[in-house]
Amino acid sequence: MSNKKQTSKLPKTGKAKEYSFFDDVYDVVRQIPKGRVTSYGAIAVYLGTKLSARMVGWAMNGAHNVKPKVPAQRVVNRNGMLTGKAHFATPTQMEELLKKDGVPVKNDTVVDFEKRYWDPAVELV
């Protein structure tokens, strides 16, 4: 047994920061560059919870009121479809924001999805 004095890593308030899966999701999404998109599943895999793609979707559903801003439009389904568009203020807002980012969309699907795909497991190593 060591005689070294252990120091507390708790903040001065004495409270530990609570873990938030949603905050982790938002941190990843904030790193997606303009002109690129990723999928719910890719974020889940990166966070070590590959079966939690739906939870990532729930996080994106609540991302509109989060500060700092979360570019939720950059998260689509595994086929590049804008499946989250119903959770934006208008039915076309997700597509409009993607086009503003430089991502072309046709029939609610990202054009050249494979070329625009951003994989956090590769990009955030």
Reported as a single tens digit per residue, the pLDDT across 41-74 is 999 999 999 999 999 999 999 999 899 999 999 9
- Could you read off the pLDDT of 1-12 as tens digits, one per residue? 444 443 434 345
Q: What is the pTM of this model?
A: 0.84
Calculate mean pLDDT across residues 94-123: 98
Enumerate the domain spans of the chain. 21-123
Contact predicate 59/22, CB 8 Å: yes
The reported pLDDT for the residue numbered 125 is 84
**Mean pLDDT for all residues in the chain:** 89
Q: Which residue has the higher pLDDT, 3 or 121?
A: 121
Q: Which pair of tokens denotes residue 45?
A: 């895999």
Contact predicate 71/44, CB 8 Å: no
pLDDT band at 87 (very low <50, low <70, confident <90, very high): very high
Calculate mean pLDDT across residues 6-34: 74
- DSSP-assigned letter for residue 4: P
Q: What is the CATH number of domain 21-123?
A: 1.10.10.10
Q: Which residue has the tokens 């999701």?
A: 25
